[in-house]
Amino acid sequence: MSETLPQFPYYADPIVDAVFEQTSIVCSACGKQREWKYQGVFYSVDEDLIICPWCIADGHASAKFDGEFQEADFAKTASRESVLAVRTRTPSVGTWNPIFWPDHCGECCQYIGDLRNHWSAEIIESATAQADIRAIAELTRMTTDEILEWAKRGAIYLRLFKCVECGKYRLALDLD
Ligand SMILES: [Zn+2]
Ligand SMILES: [Zn+2]
């Protein structure tokens, strides 16, 4: 029996990041036997929880254990609903340090992955990505060329996001 994993509107492909492991579990939230186990972080006072993807997607795990999945800062311009969905119904994005979760069109963006795995001129030269690279360069006192060079080498990480409304790209700095 293979179950189709739920979709996460704010996390494009958690399977690629090994957020879920295929193994038999009994979920702490729904009590059901499942074939997928969540491997990521869950911030809750309860420990040793075993959580299935479905209880993340429908908010059950977050509600039952009063927990959240992200360690991130959010834009004030992102809708409260989208911030709540990222914090309570989206698997944790495995970053080295807390990141700034970008928004666009008034909503939190969807996490795509490490830019290194999605390297393309279309993305990097887009106006929104260029604006983020300039802001990151200013923040880190580096040049935009240096930012891209370091990101390519994996000396710093640029997390790639995409607008859920218009599809434009945004980048967030994740320092090792
Ligand atoms: Zn469950
Ligand atoms: Zn947009």
pLDDT at residue number 176? 66
pLDDT at residue number 96? 84
pLDDT at residue number 119? 97
pTM over 0.85: yes
CA of 128 to the centre of ligand 2 (A): 10
Tokens 């040049």 belong to which residue?
Answer: 143
pLDDT at residue number 143? 97
CA of 83 to the centre of ligand 1 (A): 22
Q: Where are the domains of the chain?
A: 1-69, 95-174
pLDDT at residue number 77? 97
d(CA 34, CA 113): 26
Instruction: Give Cα separations from 142 to 66, 72, 111, 136, 148 (angstroms).
Output: 40, 23, 25, 8, 10
Q: CB of 71 within 8 A of CB of 87?
A: no
Helix ranges (H only) for 58-157 are 60-65, 80-89, 121-124, 127-140, 144-153
Q: Which ligand sits closest to the CA of 51? A: 1
Mean pLDDT in each 10-residue stretch from start to end of the chain (176 residues)? 84 93 97 96 93 98 97 95 98 90 98 96 98 96 96 94 98 88
